[in-house]
Every structure is written in structure tokens, then in C-alpha cells.
Chains A and B, each alone.
Chain A
């Protein structure tokens, strides 16, 4: 299975600022995803990070708020822009390591715990 690291592991930020989260994988993967995990809520997919093209965002998430980069097959960044306390959450990077898009072989990074004050 892929080994995934995320930086930073946690941060406390002031409202109105932006934070960029990095995700590094130890092998080349086709699919990389960004999720948000809020207390008492299920994991919510923010977007699929596409290598060499614009990310694909889920309903309710927009590029201006969550710009994503994916310069190669092992690295991606998620920026949380113009933060508000409602953005306080755990942000998770995940990768798919299977043959097809079935998510049973999806692996997650350790997460970035963000608190916005």
C-alpha cells in the first residue's frame, strides 16, 4: 500500500488568512483526493486532484476557496483560502491504488488538523 505524508500535521490560523497543505506519496498514483472530516460528520470529498489539469470539485466546493495543485504523480497541495472558523476541520489526502475507480483500495494520509480562530 502507498505511504502518504501530510504537512503540516496541525495548525492554528487566524481568520482571513490562507493555509496550504501538502500531500506526498511514496509511489506514483493515478488518483489523489482531498477530503474534509468535521466532528460528528462523515468524510466529505472536496475534490479530485488531477495531474496536469484542473482539479474536479464536488458540489459545494469551489476552486477560489480550495485551490488545488498536482504537479506530478506523487504530490499535491490543497489551499484553504480566506479562512473562517467554519473551516476548522481535519483535511485528509487520499490516493487510489487499485485498478479501477472502486474505492476499496483508497489509502489516507494522517490528516491536517486545522483550527481557525
Chain B
């Protein structure tokens, strides 16, 4: 079983839609939960992080962590064509760090 599972998509939505991206994990020791955005031919860019459980909001982006279900989500409100990218979840504990495979998102104008 992989440490982190992420649906690779691709996901295609119309502009203005609410997007939900999700990851599941198996290791209950994970404490930090991150979302990275990766544009084509670029390196991953840290979008948001959450420590332990709960929600965190930053503009149009909301990150949720449900440790009881071992499930994390990233919501994008009022999605824009500029949000088209691959989104990678990541999580860590101690000095161990694990990435999901990434979900490819396209927002259609």
C-alpha cells in the first residue's frame, strides 16, 4: 500500500467552478500536510500547508485535514484558467516526506 494516494485525473472544469482535490494516506504519524502547485515545465510551488487537523483558508484556496479518516482536501473556489496546473499533495513526519502523484487540473474559460 502506498503511503499517499492521489487520483491523477485529469480533471476538467469550467471557469468559476468549485474544485475539490483529495488525497488519502495510510500513516497516522503524518503531522504536516502540504499542497503544491506545478505548472507545466516548472518545479512544484508550495501553495498551502496545515499542521495536524483542521482547515486553513487563503484567498480562494481552502485546505482541510481529517486525520480520523486519513483524508486531506484542497478546495479552489471561483476557479480561473490560471489555476490550470498539476496539484500535488504531500505530507511529512519527522524527516520523512511523501508526495502524491499529482492531479492534473484544467480550467476551461
Contacts and interface: CB of A to CB of B under 8 A. Distances in A.
A53 interface: no
A109 B99 CA distance: 16
A108 to B, nearest CB: 3
A113 interface: yes
B92 A108 contact: no
A101 B44 contact: no
Interface residues of A, number: 21
Q: How large is the interface on B (under 10, 10 to 19, 20 to 34, 35 or more residues)?
A: 20 to 34
Interface in A84-117: 92, 94, 101-111, 113
A4 B8 CA distance: 27
Nearest to B36: A108
B42 A107 contact: no
Interface stretch (A13-21, A37-45, A63-71, A74-82): A37-45
Contacts of A104: 32, 34, 46, 49, 51, 92
A21 B89 CA distance: 26
Contacts of B99: 42-43
Nearest to A45: B97
12 contacts: A42-B6, A42-B88, A42-B100, A43-B88, A45-B97, A102-B92, A103-B32, A103-B97, A107-B46, A108-B43, A109-B43, A110-B43
Interface of A: 1, 4, 40-43, 45, 92, 94, 101-111, 113
Interface of B: 2, 4, 6, 8, 31-32, 34, 36, 41-46, 49, 51, 88, 90, 92, 94-95, 97-102
